[in-house]
Chain A
Amino acid sequence: MIVYLALRNLVRHKKRSLIIVLLFFVIITLFFIGNSTLMQMNQGMRKTFVENFTGDLVLKSTSPVDFGLFGANTPFVGEYFAIPVIQNYDSLLAELEGLDQVEATVSQVSGAALMDIHNKRYKVPLFGIEGDEYFRFFSNLKLLEGDLFTTGEEGILMTEYRANQIERETGLRPVPGDPILLTMFGNKGFKIREVPLKGIFSYTNSNSSMDQIMLVDVQTLRALNSITLASKKDSGAVDDLFSGSVDDLFGESDVESGESDGISAESVMDLLSQDVVAPEGDLVGGGWNFILIDLKERVNPRSVLEKLNSFFDENDINAEVISWRKAAGLSAMMVYLLQILYNGGFLLVLIAGIIAIVNLLVISVFERTGEIGTLRAIGASKGYIGGLFYLENIILSLIASLLALALSFLLIRVINRAGLTINNSLIVSLLGMSTVRVTFLPLMAFISMITSVLLGFLSTLFPVSLAMKIEPVTAVARG
C-alpha cells in the first residue's frame, strides 16, 4: 500500500514530481557522463603511457627522493639529483624474467640534457636504451626516418614533433646523420657528447611530455650521467670536461658561434675524440636506472607490485617497483587535475540541485500537513510517514537516473556513429584515441544509480524530519 500511496502522490503532484525528476536527471547525467569520460580518460592515458614508454610497472632503486622516468617528481629537491642505478641489476633482472606474470622487460637509463642542433638549443629528457630491444618492447613506436642504433652503436632518435619544431624554428629539417651535441651537468660537473641523429620516430597518441623525449644509445647517456660499468673499464666513457664553474663552460661562447674565450665547438670535438680515462662513477653491475616491465594479459599490476615490493623489503634489497603512473611522474597528473576540477564543478551543481530538491520537498511537506496528520490520527507511525516520503523521492531519483542513463546511452551511440576525429594532441593522449569512441560503462551506470538513490535518500532527510514532527492534532485543526 505504501508503494501505491507513494506512486499516487507522485502522479497527483505531477508538476513538482517532474521538476524533481529534472533536477535529479541533470545531476545524474553530469555524474555519469563526467565520470565515464574521466574513467575512460584514465584508461586511455594508461594505455598511452604503458604502451609508449612506461610499461606496466617499473623497477628502480630506492631513494629518499621520489623519482620516475623523467627524474625527481618533486620540483625542487634542493640540490642536483642523480637518478641512482639499480644495484644487483643482473640478479634482479633474472628474478623478474623468471616470473610467470612477466611478459617482457627492457632496461633504461634516464637523464636530461641540453641539445644543440642547427644552432639552436633545446632542453630535452633523454632515455638511454638499446635500440632494437626497446622498439621490440614498445611495438607502438614507429620509426619514420632513418634507422635504429644497434647495440654498441652511438646515435640518437628524436620524435617527429621535435623534428617539426626544429624545422619550424631553424628552417632546417633534421635528417639522419646530423650531428647533435648533448650537454649535461651532473654531480661530476659538465659532460658533453656529440652523437649522430639516427632517425625520427613517433609515438601512438602522443602527448606534450612524450614529444620531448629523445632516445639515445645507452653508452652515451651513461657517459653523460657518469655511470661506469664495472666490467667495461675505459670503454668509451668520457672524462669530466670541466670541473670548474658553469660560467667556465658556457662563458661568452656557445656552440653556435664557435668563437669565444671559453670553449669552442672545435675544442669540444677534440676532447670528445680523445680516449679518456673512466670517471669515478658508480661502479655497479648493469649500469641501468630502470627496468620496465610488461605484464601478461589479465595480470593485476597492483598485486605484482605489492608482492615484489614486500619481497624486496623482506630481503633488504635496495629496489622498488612503481606503477606506470608514478613512473610517468607529473605528466600523468593531468587526469587527476581534470578529475579534481570536474568534481569541484560537479559538487557545486550537486549542492545547488540538492538545495532545490530539499526546498521542493519542504514545500510538499507543508502542503500535505493535513494528509500527514490524518494518516497519523488513523494510526500511521512516524516511520510510516518517513518511509512514504523516502519512497516517493527514491522513486523519482530512480526514474531520473534511468532516464539519464538512457539518454547517455543514446548520446554515446550517436557520438560513436559520428566518428568524431580529435585534433588536439593533449585530448588524444588523455583519451588514448584519435577518433572518439565512447564506451557505455555498466559499472559506472550501476554506481550512478546507487548515487541517485543515495541522493534521493539524503535530500529527503530534512523534509522527513519536518514531516515526522507533524502531530495528529494538526489534522484535526487543518482538515
Chain B
Amino acid sequence: MEIIKLTDIKKSYPMGNVIVNALNGVNLSLDKGDFVAVAGPSGAGKTTIMNMIGLVDQPTSGEVFIEDKPVSHLSDKERTVLRHHYLGFIFQSFNLLPILNVYENIEIPLLIGKKYPAKKERIEWIDFLLDEVGLSPWKKHKPSELSGGQRQRVAIARALVTKPEIVIADEPTANLDSKTGEKILNLMKTINKEQKTTFIFSTHDETIKNMADHVIYLHDGFVVSEEKS
C-alpha cells in the first residue's frame, strides 16, 4: 500500500545571486511499513527530499502526497498538526533538548499538542520505549551524560513516542562510529518490523543501505535508480 508519493518535485534555493537546484523533478512512491534508504553522495539532494517528505520544507514545484492526500500547500498550522501526529523525526545531530533528561526528552512530543494522554498511560508507553532502545537505566540522565549512540537511541524513542506512521531519519548514523551506527540501524529495523512503522532514512554509507527494503539512489537532484527487495 502506497503511503508517500512524490510527483515531479523540484526545489531551488537562492544562494547569493545564484539559484541552486537541489531537486530536479523527483518522482517516488513509498509503501507503508517499508524500511527505505535514500542514498547518494553529498549534495545529491538527500536532505532536501527528506525535508519534503517530513513537511519541514516546501517544494518549488511538484506535489507530495501522504496517503493520497496532497500536502505541499497546506498551511503552516495544518503541516504542524500533521507532523505532530503522523511523522517522527530523527536528526543527524540528535537535536535533544539539553535542559531535559532522557525521559523528558522522549515525553515532550506528547505534551506539546493540545491533547495528550493521561500520565499513567504516558509513563507506561515511555518506559516501554526506553526498554526497546535499551536506555531504562539512563532515563534520569541529561543528554550531555550520554554517548552519541545513546543520544541517537533517545532520539529514536522520541520519534516513536507519538506512534507515527512514518519516521524520517536524516543521516542518523553520520555522527556515530560504524559499529554504533549499525546497532542504531538494527534497532530501527527491529522497531520497523515490530511496530509496522515506515522508516525513511538517508545515508551515504554503502554498507548500511543494504539493510533497507527499498533503496533510492539520488545524484545531482535526480533519482538515478531504485532497488526493492
Contacts and interface: CB of A to CB of B under 8 A. Distances in A.
9 smallest beta-carbon distances between A and B, as pairs: A379-B84, A479-B93, A1-B111, A472-B56, A8-B99, A374-B95, A380-B112, A473-B57, A473-B56
Given A375-B108, A379-B112, A476-B51, 9 more contacts: A5-B99, A5-B100, A8-B99, A378-B88, A381-B80, A473-B51, A475-B91, A479-B91, A479-B93
A12 interface: yes
B77 A379 contact: no
A376 interface: yes
Contact of A378 (B47, B100, B158): B158
Interface string A384-422: 100000000000000000000000000000000000000
Nearest to B97: A371
Nearest to B47: A476
B170 A476 contact: yes
A384 B112 contact: yes
B56 A476 contact: yes
Contacts of B158: 378
B56 to A, nearest CB: 4
Contacts of A473: 51, 56-57
Nearest to A12: B99
A173 to B, nearest CB: 78
Main secondary structure of the interface of B (DSSP, over half): mixed
Chain A interface mostly helix, strand, loop or mixed? helix
Contacts of A12: 98-99
B104 to A, nearest CB: 8
A373 B89 CA distance: 12
B151 to A, nearest CB: 11
A471 interface: yes
A9 B99 CA distance: 7
B198 interface: no
B85 A374 contact: no
Interface in B42-80: 47, 50-51, 54, 56-57, 76-77, 80
Contacts of B108: 1, 5, 375, 378
Nearest to B84: A379
A378 B91 CA distance: 11
Interface string B125-156: 00000000000000000000000000000000
Nearest to A7: B99
B163 interface: no
A370 interface: yes
B20 interface: no
Contacts of B54: 377
A472 B94 CA distance: 14
A382 interface: yes
B131 to A, nearest CB: 22
B197 interface: no
Interface string B101-112: 000000111011
A93 to B, nearest CB: 70
Contact of A374 (B57, B77, B97, B170): B97
B162 interface: yes
Contacts of A378: 83-84, 88-89, 108-109, 112, 158
A379 B91 contact: no
B89 A375 contact: no
Contact of B112 (A1, A475, A479): A1
A1 to B, nearest CB: 4
A233 B98 CA distance: 97
Nearest to B162: A379
Contacts of A1: 107-108, 111-112
Contacts of B93: 479
Contacts of B109: 378-379
Nearest to B112: A380
A299 to B, nearest CB: 54
A375, A471, A473 pick with most chain B CB within 10 angstroms: A473
B83 A381 contact: no
B92 A380 contact: no
A379 B93 CA distance: 18
Contacts of B56: 376-377, 471-473, 475-476
Which of A9, A11, A378, A475 is packed against the most chain B CB atoms within 10 Å?
A: A378
A365 to B, nearest CB: 16
A373 B83 CA distance: 13
B95 A479 contact: yes
B116 to A, nearest CB: 8
Nearest to A474: B56
A370 B108 CA distance: 16
B81 interface: yes
26 contacts: A1-B108, A8-B100, A11-B99, A370-B95, A371-B97, A374-B95, A375-B108, A376-B80, A377-B56, A377-B83, A378-B83, A378-B84, A378-B88, A379-B81, A379-B83, A379-B162, A380-B80, A380-B112, A381-B77, A471-B56, A473-B51, A473-B56, A473-B57, A476-B51, A476-B170, A479-B93
A376 to B, nearest CB: 7
Contacts of A370: 95
Contacts of A11: 99
B170 A375 contact: no
